Amino acid sequence: MFGVYAPGVEVAPLVFDGLFALQHRGQESAGMAVSDGETVTVVKDMGLVTSVFGARSLSPLQGHLGLGHVRYSTSGASTWQSAQPVYRSVGAAGFALGHNGNLTNVPSLEDGAGLLPGVLDTDSDVIAELVAREMEAADPAAPDALERALAAVLPELEGAFSLGLIDAGHLVAVRDPNGFRPLCLGRIDLPGGEASGPEVIGPEPRYGYVVASESPALDIVGARFVREIEPGEMLVVDAAGCRSSFPFPPERVEPAMCVFEFVYFARPDTRLRGREVHAARRRMGEHLALESPARADLVIGVPDSGVPAAEGYAARSGIPFGHGLVKNRYIGRTFIAPSPEARREAVRRKLNPLPESIEGRRLVVVDDSIVRGTTIRRIIEMLREAGALEVHLRVSSPPFRWPCFYGIDTPSRAELLAAGIPPAEVAGELTARLGADSVGYLSLESMIAAIGAGEEGWCTACQSGVYPTPVPLDPARRLPALAR
């Protein structure tokens, strides 16, 4: 998600660049909403940012205020109707909303609002509908109608939600009380201005503001990182300034950032909680070499997120690091593909072995995680076919044994390769299932230590089964289950 408020600037090209920097967070659809101060115009479609937007689609998006979104579906179908930003025609120009995360209380929200279950496509639609109804019930023409409606609706939401919204004249960013998904704030120079002035946008502003899911999206548009938006914070930017409030009850504000952002999801050049993701992944590999050594001739990483950990493993173990797999740069991320069939097909197209690096060698293969096992099983087969003598799989995170309800598409334990296996038996069981010579995981404690951003304030539910918030339960299986 990417939003910008920049008076005197046509922001559509900036939003395009910001979304391009965030393409790794969603590959199914892309959308953009732009306001010129009177009208909010929305363009969205299925596909990558570069296929949705070009000169023709960007030309009608004129204005100084914009919001963009790339989608990775965790609730709702992968369809045009579910693409974001979501738009509601209420107030002077309506408003557009983008959402990263997943709500855990959709049924109760629908019941409370008198909505028929399943009528709205996604939990993002539910949020937009609740905000629109709140605006209509008050004074939708009031300048602060959107802000007031959000203050009323947000405390009713549960789960993970980093939100971006725009109306005719406001950019709003919200982070849920646990801060599951990242969101940051930046400043951007305006024509003839400097970004070194006071923190308030005055009548003659010298800079604008940018909000983004990850810090590299700020870099690509020339914005300067200011800070991460706090868990439970609502930030509003308009002609009067940049101000923040905390609309949630204080007892609900309890940081629990998703640790999978450091393991896989975020870009390596992103900074989260003051730490660079790439450096954290390399340290994970170093810890892994100490906890799970192997006798081998070469360490290789599974591109791309497994490579930094492989470098760390090689450096600490003394085994040479090399490249054994080539990634097709025109294939997206297999984990976030919307179906098992799409993930299996993408693996075949995405990776190819380098036989001269592999043949006759004992390999340590480092990957960032094993969730469903689709990718790594095929990789091990390819390495065997290319002549590897031994394949020792090392994973720079703990086993994923529990479903996520906060924005990662692992809704059932049946999909998780390590679920149901006693922790002490996971390595041995998966060695046989995956066709490896051995399997080793990084411990939860070492993973947190490698990140180096403190021991507290993390969501590790997918690995530990300890959820920071209440989640729906399936009584038949006594396991968490998605609300929708």
User: What mean pLDDT do residues 4-13 have?
Assistant: 97
Residue-level pLDDT at 119: 75
- Tokens at residue 355, please? 């036989």
Instruction: Answer yes or no: is 262 within a domain.
Output: no
- Domains: count for the chain: 2
User: What mean pLDDT do residues 89-112 have?
Assistant: 93
Structural domain boundaries, residue 67: 2-256
Residue-level pLDDT at 477: 35
> Tell me: the pLDDT tens digits for 340-350?
565 556 666 78
Pairing relationship of beta strands 362-367 and 390-395 according to DSSP bridges: parallel
Instruction: Answer yes or no: is 165 within a domain.
Output: yes
CATH number at residue 53: 3.60.20.10
- Tokens at residue 218, please? 């700020």
Instruction: Answer yes or no: is 479 within a domain.
Output: no
Pairing relationship of beta strands 159-166 and 171-175 according to DSSP bridges: antiparallel
In angstroms, the CA 235 to CA 214 distance is 16
Residue-level pLDDT at 195: 45
Whether residues 319 and 241 share a domain: the answer is no
Residue-level pLDDT at 2: 98
Report residue 480's pLDDT band, with 50, 70 and 90 as the boundaries: very low
Residue-level pLDDT at 252: 97
Query: What angle do helix axes 277-291 and 444-451 make, rounded to 10 degrees?
Result: 140
User: How far out from the chain centre does Cα 315 lie?
Assistant: 29
Cβ-proximal residues to 423 (8 Å cutoff; 6+ apart), any chain: 399, 401
Domain finish residue from 224, 256, 288: 256
Is pLDDT at 88 greater than 70 in this prediction? Answer: yes
User: What mean pLDDT do residues 267-278 have?
Assistant: 97
Report residue 410's pLDDT band, with 50, 70 and 90 as the boundaries: confident
Instruction: Answer yes or no: is 476 within a domain.
Output: no
Residue-level pLDDT at 484: 30
CATH number at residue 314: 3.40.50.2020
- Tokens at residue 101, please? 């995360």
Most confident of 116-120, 139-143, 408-412: 139-143
Q: Nearest 5 degrees, angle CA 236-CA 122-CA 23?
A: 65
Instruction: Answer yes or no: is 484 within a domain.
Output: no
Instruction: Answer yes or no: is 63 within a domain.
Output: yes
3-state secondary structure 68-115: EEEECCCCCCCCHHHCCCEEECCCCCCEEEEEEEEECCHHHHHHHHCC
Cβ-proximal residues to 158 (8 Å cutoff; 6+ apart), any chain: 103, 104, 105, 469, 470
Is pLDDT at 413 greater than 60 in this prediction? Answer: yes
> Tell me: the pLDDT tens digits for 168-208?
999 999 999 999 999 999 999 998 765 444 444 444 568 89
Residue-level pLDDT at 79: 77
Nearest to 156 by CA among 230, 69, 252, 36: 252
- SS3 assignment, position 116: coil
Report the predicted TM-score, pTM, of the whole model to 2 decimal places: 0.91
User: What mean pLDDT do residues 123-144 have?
Assistant: 94
